[in-house]
Structure 1
Amino acid sequence: MKQNKYDEPGFFANYSRMSRSIGGLDAAGEWHAFRAMLPELRDKKVLDLGCGFGWHCRYAREREARSVVGTDLSENMLERARALTNDSEIEYRRCAIEDFDCSEGEFDVAISSLAFHYVESFADVCQNVYRALAAGGSFVFSVEHPIFTAKAEQDWHYGADGEKLHWPVDGYYKEGAREANFLDHTVVKYHRTVSSYVNTLLESGFRIMKLSEPQPTQEMLDQIPEMHDELRRPIFLMIAAVKN
C-alpha cells in the first residue's frame, strides 16, 4: 500500500488548517511561479496527479480546458475536492500516482503540485506521464527542492538565542527515503538531486522547457515579514517539459 497520510484523521485535520488548504491557490506562495509555467489550457484535456482539494483542476476549467481528470490516493482529499467542485467536466479518481492508467496519448497537459517527493520512483512517473500525453503534450510539476529534502529534519540550524543561522545541507547525493516531520506527524519523503529530476525527464523522452526555483513575490515579502527567510534557500523546484 502506498503512503496515505491524508486519510489519517489527525494529519488531515492539521492539513485542513493550513492557509493553502483554506485560501486555495492564492494562498500558495509558489502559485505565481507555477501558473506562469503552465501552457495554454483552452480546449485541452488535463491530468492532475495528486490533485488534493482540486484547486488546479478547477483552475484549468476556469482557463477553458475541455476536461480534467484529477487523481489522489486519499479519499479525504477527493471528498473535499468533490464538495468544492460543481463541474461535470472534472472527474476525480482515487488511485496512487504510480498506479494511474489511461489510454495512450489521452491527455494534452499533465500537472502535479508538490506530490512527487512522496513517490519512490520518479522514473515510473515520467514513463507513465509520457505515455498518457499526446505528442507535444506539456508536463509541468513542482516538488520540494532537493536543498530542502536532503536532510530529514528540514529545519534551520539555530543559534544560542534561537536565531536562524543557516539552512544545513548534508547527504545531498544520497538519494532515497527520508522520515520527515510534517504537520506534527512522521512522513516519508523521497530525496532526489536536481540532476536526477532533469536527467530522468530527458531519458524518458521529454524536452525541458523551463526550470524554476521561485522566490517570494515582493507583495508577500511586504505582507509577511517572516517570508524574508525564504530568500535564503530554495524551497520549491518546478520544471516544465514537453513530450517530443
Structure 2
Amino acid sequence: MKQNKYDEAEFFSEYSQMARSTQGLKAAGEWHELQTMLPELKNKNVLDLGCGFGWHCRYAREQQAKSVIGVDLSEKMLDRAREMTDDPQIEFRQMAIEDIAFEPEQFDVVISSLALHYLERLDQVYAQINTSLVQGGTFVCSVEHPIFTARAAQDWHYGPQGEIMHWPVDDYHQEGKRVANFLNHDVVKYHRTLATHLNELIKAGFVIQQVAESKPSPEMMNQYPGMRDENRRPMFLMIAAVKA
C-alpha cells in the first residue's frame, strides 16, 4: 500500500507546524549525527527519497553537489519544496519510493530521511537504490528505531501523576504493519528488527559503513522541552552503506 497522509489537508497542516518543518535541519534532533555520516557531496549527483520540503536537497547543493533529484509521493510536500527552492540544479519528482526506476549508476549518493518505515517492502527498494548508485556510491538513511516501532502505541509508560516511567518494548520480533498515532492521526508504519534493517541492505549488495542510534545534542536538550528524555531510548536508527 502506498500511503499518502501528507496530502490530507488536516494532517499536512499539523505537520507543517512541527519545528523540523518550520526551522529545517537545525530543528531535526538526529541531524547533528546524520550529517556526519554523509560523504563528500561536492560535484556529486544526489538522490533524496522522501524529500518532503526539500531540506536535504538544498543542503546538498550548499555542499556543492552537481545535481539533486528529490522524490516524494505528496503533491503538497513538493509544492512547498518548490516554493522554498530557487535552484535549477534541484529537481523535484512526484512518485512513490516503491516506484523508482532510475538509470544504472545515475547517482553518487542516495539519501532517505525518515521515510522508509512507511514502506512494506524494503528489499525491492534497496535493490533499486543499489542499481542506481555508481560503484562505491553511498546510501545514507534514517528510519524510526525498532525500539520505537515495536509497539504501535509508540509512547512512554506513565506513572500515576503523569510522569514518564519508562519506554515499553514488546512484540519486537513480530515484524510487520503497525497503525500508530502521529499528530492525532492513524498512520501505517512497518516494524523491522535491527537485524532485518542491516541484513536487507547486505543482501541488496551494500557494505555497512556506520550505524548510529539517535541522541539529541546538548544544545537541543537545552533549547527544546522534553529533549532530555530522548536520551532514555533511541528514536531513530541511521545507517551509512556503500555499494559493494
**Which position in structure 2 is the counterpart of 1:32?**
32
**Which position in structure 1 is the counterpart of 2:21?**
21
What's the secondary structure of 1:102's corresponding residue?
A: coil
Counterpart CA distance in 2 for 1:87 and 1:122 is 31
Report matched runs for 1:66-215 at 5 Å: 66-215=66-215
Which residue identity is paired with 2:182?
F
Report matched runs for 1:215-226 at 5 Å: 215-226=215-226
Counterpart CA distance in 2 for 1:92 and 1:110 is 14
How far the C-alpha of 1:223 sits from its partner, in A, is 2.5
1:42 aligns with 2:42: yes
Partner deviation per Cα, 1:146-199 (whole Å, 9 max, x = no partner): 000000000011111111111000000011010000011000000000000100
What's the secondary structure of 1:52's corresponding residue?
A: coil
**Which position in structure 1 is the counterpart of 2:58?**
58
Structure 1 unaligned segments of length 5 or more: list them. Answer: none
Counterpart CA distance in 1 for 2:146 and 2:61 is 31
What's the secondary structure of 1:139's corresponding residue?
A: strand
Which residue identity is paired with 1:99?
D
How far the C-alpha of 1:214 sits from its partner, in A, is 2.1
Aligned sequence identity (%): 61
Runs of 4+ in structure 1 displaced over 2 angstroms?
Answer: 222-225
Structure 2 unaligned segments of length 5 or more: list them. Answer: none
How far the C-alpha of 1:224 sits from its partner, in A, is 3.0
Counterpart CA distance in 1 for 2:58 and 2:81 is 9
How far the C-alpha of 1:227 sits from its partner, in A, is 1.2
Counterpart CA distance in 1 for 2:58 and 2:17 is 21
Which residue identity is paired with 1:201?
L
Which residue identity is paired with 2:10?
G
Counterpart CA distance in 1 for 2:88 and 2:219 is 36
Which residue identity is paired with 1:172?
Y
Which residue identity is paired with 1:229?
D
What's the secondary structure of 1:76's corresponding residue?
A: helix
What's the secondary structure of 1:53's corresponding residue?
A: coil
Counterpart CA distance in 1 for 2:13 and 2:217 is 29
Counterpart CA distance in 1 for 2:241 and 2:25 is 22
Counterpart CA distance in 1 for 2:120 and 2:212 is 22
Counterpart CA distance in 1 for 2:55 and 2:224 is 23
What's the secondary structure of 2:226's corresponding residue?
A: helix
Which residue identity is paired with 1:202?
I
How far the C-alpha of 1:102 sits from its partner, in A, is 1.0
How far the C-alpha of 1:228 sits from its partner, in A, is 1.2
Size of the aligned set, in residue pairs, is 244
Counterpart CA distance in 1 for 2:201 and 2:178 is 22
How far the C-alpha of 1:124 sits from its partner, in A, is 1.1
**Which position in structure 2 is the counterpart of 1:2?**
2
Counterpart CA distance in 1 for 2:123 and 2:133 is 16
**Which position in structure 2 is the counterpart of 1:228?**
228
Query: Aligned-residue CA RMSD in angstroms?
Result: 0.8
Which residue identity is paired with 1:120?
E
Counterpart CA distance in 2 for 1:228 and 1:69 is 35
Q: TM-score, normalised by structure 1?
A: 0.99
Which residue identity is paired with 2:171?
G
What's the secondary structure of 1:240's corresponding residue?
A: strand
How far the C-alpha of 1:225 sits from its partner, in A, is 4.5
